Amino acid sequence: MYSGVRKLFFTDCRCAEDDMKTYQELFAKLDTNKDGVVDVSELKEGLDAMGIKTGRGEAQEIISSGDDNKDDGLNFNEFSKYLMDHEKKLLLTFKSLDKNNDGQIDYMEIKQSLADLGMNISEEDANKILKSIDVNGTMTVDWNEFRQHFLFNPATSLQEIIRYWKHSTVLDIGDSLTIPDEFTEEEK
C-alpha cells in the first residue's frame, strides 16, 4: 500500500540531514502547483497517489496541526516541523506499546496495552492490528513500520491510535465496550 513512498521516505537508518532532504523531496511531490504551499487538496491527492489513503478530514487535521501562520496550507518550514513533531509523538507512543523495550511490537504487547486501558481483545484481534501495520511479514512491528503506517495519520497518542483501530475495518471491538475515562465523547 505504501510502496510509492517507502523507498523515498522510510529507510532503516536516517539522520537529520537525510530527513530534511527527504522532507524536501516529499514536499515537492505534494506541492503539485509549485506555489510553495501544500494545501488540503494537494495533501490528500498526493498521499492517495502514493498509496496512502487519507480522508479529507484527516488531511485537514494534518494541515491545521502544522499551519502556524493560519493560511490553510503548509509551507516547507511548517511541513518539516509538523513531520518532525509528529514523529517525536509517534515515537513516544511506539515506546509505550513496546512493553519489553526490544524495539519491536508484537501482538501480545498490543493486547496488553489495550488491556491496560480496560479494553480486552482476543489474540486474533491483536494479530489483525499487527498485520495491518507489519510491512515485512515478521509478525512484529519495528519503529520504521510504525512510523510508516502512522506518519500521515493525525493520531499520535495511544488513545488516538486505539480510536483509529476501533473505527477502522481492521478491528471491531464493539460499541458496548466500556471506554476509559480519558477518552473524550468524540473518541467514544
129 φ/ψ angles, rounded to the nearest 5 degrees: -60, -50
Average pLDDT over residues 87-98: 96
% of the chain exceeding 70 in pLDDT? 81
Of residues 165 and 84, which shows the higher confidence score?
A: 84
List pLDDT tens digits, range 156-176: 998 899 888 877 755 555 543
Look at residue 84 and give its three-state secondary structure: helix
Where are the domains positioned within the chain? Answer: 17-168
- Ramachandran area for residue 53 (φ above 0: left; ψ -120 to 50: alpha; else beta): beta
Nearest to residue 27, comparing CAs of 54, 47, 13, 7? 47
Rounded Cα distance, 144 and 13, in Å: 9
Average pLDDT, the chain: 85
Average pLDDT over residues 46-75: 94
Rounded Cα distance, 165 and 133, in Å: 11
Nearest to residue 47, comparing CAs of 159, 154, 144? 154
Grid coordinates of 52: 496512502
pLDDT higher than 90, residue 23: yes
> Global pTM?
0.79
Architecture of domain 17-168: Orthogonal Bundle (1.10)
Residue 7 pLDDT: 45
Q: Which amino acid is at 91?
A: L
Average pLDDT over residues 149-154: 92
Residue 34, Cβ density class (10 Å: 0-12 exposed, 13-18 middle, ≥19 buried) = exposed
% of the chain exceeding 90 in pLDDT? 66
Average pLDDT over residues 13-26: 79
Residue 11 pLDDT: 45
77 φ/ψ angles, rounded to the nearest 5 degrees: -60, -45
- The band of 53, judged by pLDDT with boundaries at 50, 70 and 90, is confident
List pLDDT tens digits, range 97-149: 999 999 999 999 999 999 998 889 999 999 999 999 999 999 999 999 999 99
Rounded Cα distance, 180 and 118, in Å: 7
Rounded Cα distance, 142 and 90, in Å: 12
Look at residue 141 and give its three-state secondary structure: strand
Residue 182, Cβ density class (10 Å: 0-12 exposed, 13-18 middle, ≥19 buried) = exposed
Residue 170, Cβ density class (10 Å: 0-12 exposed, 13-18 middle, ≥19 buried) = middle
Of residues 6 and 35, which shows the higher confidence score?
A: 35
Average pLDDT over residues 54-74: 95
Nearest to residue 87, comparing CAs of 150, 35, 39, 27? 150
CB atoms within 10 A of CB 163: 18
pLDDT higher than 70, residue 2: no
